[in-house]
């Protein structure tokens, strides 16, 4: 029932890894990133080196947990080199002996869920199965790479309304079965696509999808108790992709649309991972329990938790002050100006706006 979307299991690891090692697209992607000069001049040699390296390193992987342990090592290294400190709190806000459906704001394609996982891992709690949209999985091997690291597929490219409804029903059933029956934590973003403008708002359609699997006789309160929704608020002092997001937002404002360049998602993933983020904080919020009228009411409750627990940094406060022409911290303003030096006036306005919007959201709670 779920074989086309579920993560891979331990008994599938060796076969999938073998397939990935022989995948030319993966070899080329790693070679171009790790040894760009050699790849440019001698691509076949560079890919051969990558294949040999993957084969050597992959010998120790026979289970999903072993892969996750390796990912955790990489994350520790990444946090050390690309942040000015990572903190988390709120683990005591929910019963972590029960599986949960974590719903977080969405700022970074890969890092959001990776940081949630790191916080859980450090707290001795089982890591999540993570939702990933098929719009990011342009090649089958990319899907394999995600599914071998506890990701499940969200079908967003169905061609008809009927196909989309069937995909939504399958996803709803999968999420409920995973949390309520298989007792496995899940993570999903509060909306499709990153909040490029800094406005963290849960899409009510996401909640409607979660409720598709609920039968008519089951009260919403009972179904929410089974899903155990725990909102998560993720705060970045700086966004490594802020300039790119500002350019996109300005173009959308000017022309009404924005067309992604080839490889833009991969660039955003890489930049989000390795770019400097300043301080990063994750807050696990109070679970969403009780009786709600509908999906919109549940989405609003999630928003309230995420916004009220969002950690404001000087980057947010100074950007808000600058937009309102108020006196502010000159050292932080200088840092923001440095990030904007190659942007037009319209793009600069959008960059400041994305940092200021969390301040506005808190003021209007």
**Strands 279-284 and 229-236, bridge-based pairing:** antiparallel
Burial 88-101 (b: 16+ CB within 10 A, else e): bebbebbebeebbb
Taking the CA atoms of 295, 297, 302 and 307 in sequence, report the sign of the dihedral they define. Answer: positive
pLDDT confidence of residue 268: 84
Q: How confident is the model at residue 146 (pLDDT cuts 50, 70, 90)?
A: confident
pLDDT confidence of residue 131: 95
- In DSSP terms, 104 is beta-bridged to 189, 232
What CA–CA distance (Å, rounded) separates 120 from 94?
12
Would 209 be classed as within a structural domain? yes
State yes or no: pLDDT of 92 exceeds 80: yes
Residues 50 and 134 in one domain: no
Q: Which pair of tokens denotes residue 171? A: 């996803």
What CA–CA distance (Å, rounded) separates 158 from 329?
49
Q: Which domain holds residue 28?
A: 9-62
Residues 33 and 70 in one domain: no
State yes or no: pLDDT of 214 exceeds 90: yes
Residues 37 and 166 in one domain: no
Residues 71 and 112 in one domain: yes
How much is the pTM?
Answer: 0.92
Residues 290 and 304 in one domain: yes
Residues 18 and 57 in one domain: yes
Higher local confidence (pLDDT), 54 or 283: 283
Compute the average pLDDT of residues 81-95: 95
Residues 106 and 164 in one domain: yes
State yes or no: pLDDT of 323 exceeds 90: yes
Residues 134 and 190 in one domain: yes
State yes or no: pLDDT of 263 exceeds 80: no
Q: How confident is the model at residue 74 (pLDDT cuts 50, 70, 90)?
A: confident
Residues 36 and 112 in one domain: no
pLDDT confidence of residue 36: 87
Would 339 be classed as within a structural domain? no
Would 259 be classed as within a structural domain? no
pLDDT confidence of residue 140: 82
Residues 69 and 180 in one domain: yes
Q: What percent of the chain has pLDDT over 90?
A: 76
Would 285 be classed as within a structural domain? yes
Would 331 be classed as within a structural domain? no
Give the number of domains in the chain: 2
């Amino acid at each position: 029932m779920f074989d086309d979307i579920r993560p891979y299991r331990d008994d599938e690891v060796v076969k999938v890894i073998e397939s990935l090692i022989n995948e030319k697209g993966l070899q080329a992607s790693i070679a171009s990133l790790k040894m760009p000069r050699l790849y440019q001049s001698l691509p076949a040699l560079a890919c051969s080196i990558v294949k040999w390296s993957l084969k050597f390193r992959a010998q120790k992987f026979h289970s999903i947990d072993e892969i996750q342990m390796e990912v955790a090592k990489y994350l520790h290294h990444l946090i050390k080199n690309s942040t000015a400190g990572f903190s988390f709190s709120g683990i005591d806000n929910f019963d972590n002996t029960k599986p949960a459906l974590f719903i977080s704001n969405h700022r970074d394609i890969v890092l959001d869920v990776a940081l949630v996982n790191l916080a859980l891992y450090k707290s001795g709690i089982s890591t999540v199965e993570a939702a990933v949209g098929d719009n990011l999985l342009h090649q089958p091997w990319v899907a394999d790479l995600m599914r071998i690291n506890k990701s499940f597929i969200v079908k967003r490219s169905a061609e008809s309304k009927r196909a989309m409804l069937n995909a939504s029903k399958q996803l709803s059933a999968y999420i409920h079965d995973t949390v309520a029956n298989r007792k496995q934590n899940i993570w999903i973003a509060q909306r499709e696509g990153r909040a490029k403008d800094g406005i963290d708002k849960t899409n009510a359609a996401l909640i409607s999808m979660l409720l598709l699997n609920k039968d008519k006789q089951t009260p919403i309160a009972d179904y929410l108790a089974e899903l155990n929704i725990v909102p998560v608020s993720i705060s970045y002092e700086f966004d490594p992709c802020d300039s790119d997001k500002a350019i996109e937002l300005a173009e959308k404002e000017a022309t009404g649309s924005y067309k992604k360049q080839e490889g833009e998602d991969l660039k955003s993933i890489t930049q989000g991972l390795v770019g400097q983020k300043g301080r990063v904080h994750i807050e696990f919020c109070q679970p969403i329990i009780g009786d709600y009228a509908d999906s919109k009411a549940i989405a609003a409750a999630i928003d309230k938790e995420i916004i009220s627990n969002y950690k404001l940094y000087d980057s947010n406060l100074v950007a808000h002050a600058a937009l309102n022409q108020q006196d502010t911290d000159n050292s932080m303003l200088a840092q923001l100006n440095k990030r904007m030096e190659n942007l037009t006036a319209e793009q600069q306005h959008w960059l400041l706006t994305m940092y200021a919007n969390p301040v506005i959201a808190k003021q209007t709670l």
